[in-house]
């Protein structure tokens, strides 16, 4: 008798996160263990997020995945690591309405189909892998009735993409690098939830939505192998910054928060420049945005806006409140007026996302 065919599905959504103390460099490539702690803020999922549906059925002969409607290979070790770690923790699932019962040992044999969508440009330095892997792990966990706490889930998401471990939580999040060689203590913790500092407004100025030239993974590998500055940053600078940043966040001290955020973004890009061959993620427009913010903050006496740039030219500006944010947008539109023949400037004006 043919086996009854059925499909079980689960859907989840995860926002992306923006690091204010950057992760750059791994001490273990396979397990994705970083050379320093990092701190990030998770965005509102309405603006930048991944939505993933996972389906399991005895009718599926293999695991498959589609990203934004296009099938992608699951051969890379990272998907396999996440799938394996979640499958290991799978439990019995019973759907009474559909009359489906899956025993925990059955999950080893069941294949999954995964469909994921980003509501923002993939790989333009807007942390699409962070939202993507956090969402994949969370949604697979939901499908397979995994009962692990968020710390454990973050440690699994880390094996998909380092920054993904921080997207498991909202608010401000710290990824603790951990000490163990097996990665068991390298996981994210929530510092404060999203309601703690809700005056902050994050503006993302999309300078270019083109795919970046150097992927984060290969970029940080080159940095670890060639940059003498990275060792100094990871061992001497970041530990102190992490403590100060935690304090700034807990006390909602914007001045300290902004100084640390800008300094850490600049040091991350300095480390990229110290890599051989050098990695350029920012462009002229990025540099002009930095100057604009630096001049503004200097004129105000105390910082009103923080900037941070990831592995791409797009600016993330963090304003201390809504009033400042609207002034920032006005200033950006004034300095980068939309022009038909100037795509870079146009994008800044056109695609600013106010969250």
Question: Which residues of this chain interact with ligand 2P0, rule CB under 6 A?
Answer: 19, 22-24, 32, 38, 127, 129, 161-163, 216-217, 310-311
In DSSP terms, 119 is beta-bridged to: none
Rounded to the nearest whole angstrom, what is the least distance from the CB of residue 97 to ligand 2P0 in the complex? 38
Give the nearer residue to ligand 2P0 in terms of CB position, either 204 or 329. 204
* Minimum gap (Å) between residue 128 Cβ and ligand 2P0: 8
Q: In whole angstroms, how close is the CB of 28 to ligand 2P0 at the nearest point?
A: 11
Q: Identify which of residues 209 and 217 has a Cβ nearer to ligand 2P0 in the complex.
A: 217
CB of 195 to ligand 2P0, least distance (A): 23
Nearer Cβ to ligand 2P0 (188/348): 188
Taking the complex as a whole, the smallest distance from the CB of residue 67 to ligand 2P0 amounts, in Å, to: 15
What residue is closest to ligand 2P0 based on CB?
Answer: 162
Closest approach, Cβ 135 to ligand 2P0, in A, equals: 14
Find the shortest distance in angstroms from Cβ 167 to ligand 2P0: 10
Closest CB to ligand 2P0 among residues 55, 315: 315
Q: Which is nearer to ligand 2P0, 54 or 311 (CB)?
A: 311
Which lies closer to ligand 2P0 via its Cβ, residue 111 or residue 244?
Answer: 244
33 vs 102, beta carbon nearer ligand 2P0: 33
Residues 6+ apart with CB under 8 A from 302: 254, 255
Three-state secondary structure of the chain: CCCCCCCEEEEEEEECEEEEECCCCEEECCCCEECCCEEEEECCCCCCEEEEEEEEECCCCCCEEEECCEEECCCCHHHHHHHHHHHHCCCCEEECCCCEEECHHHHHCCEEEEEEEECCCCCCCCCHHHHHHHHHHHHHHHHCCCCCCHHHHHHHHHCCCHHHHHHHCCCEEEEECCCCCCCCCCEEEEEECCCCCCCCEEEEECCCCCCCCCCHHHHHHHHHHHCHHHHHHHHHHHHHHHHHHHHHHHCCCHHHHHHHHHHHHHHHHHHHHCCCCCCCCCCHHHHHHHHHHHHHHHHHCCCCEEEEECCCCCEEEEECCHHHHHHHHHHHHHHCCCCCCCHHHHHHHHCCEEC
């Amino acid at each position: 008798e043919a086996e009854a065919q059925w499909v079980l599905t689960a859907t989840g959504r995860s926002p992306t996160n923006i690091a204010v103390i950057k992760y750059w460099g791994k001490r273990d490539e396979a397990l994705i263990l970083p050379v320093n702690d990092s701190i990030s803020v998770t965005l509102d999922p309405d603006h930048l997020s991944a939505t993933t549906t996972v389906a399991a059925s005895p009718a599926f002969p293999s695991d498959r995945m589609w990203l934004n409607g296009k099938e992608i290979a699951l051969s890379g070790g990272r998907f396999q690591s996440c799938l394996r770690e979640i499958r290991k923790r799978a439990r019995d699932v019973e759907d009474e309405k559909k009359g489906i019962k899956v025993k925990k040992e059955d999950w080893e044999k069941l294949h999954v189909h995964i469909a994921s969508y980003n509501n923002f440009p993939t790989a333009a330095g807007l942390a699409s892998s962070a939202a993507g892997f956090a969402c994949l792990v969370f949604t697979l966990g939901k499908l397979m009735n995994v009962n692990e706490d968020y710390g454990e889930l973050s440690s699994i998401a880390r094996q998909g993409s380092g920054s993904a471990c921080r997207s498991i939580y909202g608010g401000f999040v710290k990824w603790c690098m951990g000490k163990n060689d097996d990665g068991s203590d390298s996981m994210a913790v929530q510092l404060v939830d999203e309601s703690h500092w809700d005056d902050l407004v994050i503006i993302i100025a999309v300078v270019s939505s083109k795919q970046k030239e150097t992927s984060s993974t290969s970029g940080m590998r080159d940095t670890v192998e060639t940059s003498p500055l990275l060792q100094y940053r990871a061992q001497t600078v970041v530990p102190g910054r992490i403590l100060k940043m935690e304090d700034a966040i807990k006390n909602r001290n914007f001045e300290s928060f902004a100084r640390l955020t800008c300094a850490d973004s600049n040091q991350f890009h300095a480390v990229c420049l110290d890599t051989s061959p050098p990695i350029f993620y920012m462009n002229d427009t990025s540099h002009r945005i930095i100057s604009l913010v630096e001049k503004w903050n200097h004129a105000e006496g105390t910082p009103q806006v923080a900037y941070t740039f990831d592995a791409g030219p797009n600016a993330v500006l963090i304003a201390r409140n809504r009033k400042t944010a609207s002034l920032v947008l006005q200033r950006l539109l004034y300095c980068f007026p939309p022009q038909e023949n100037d795509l870079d400037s146009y994008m800044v004006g056109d695609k600013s996302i106010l969250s």
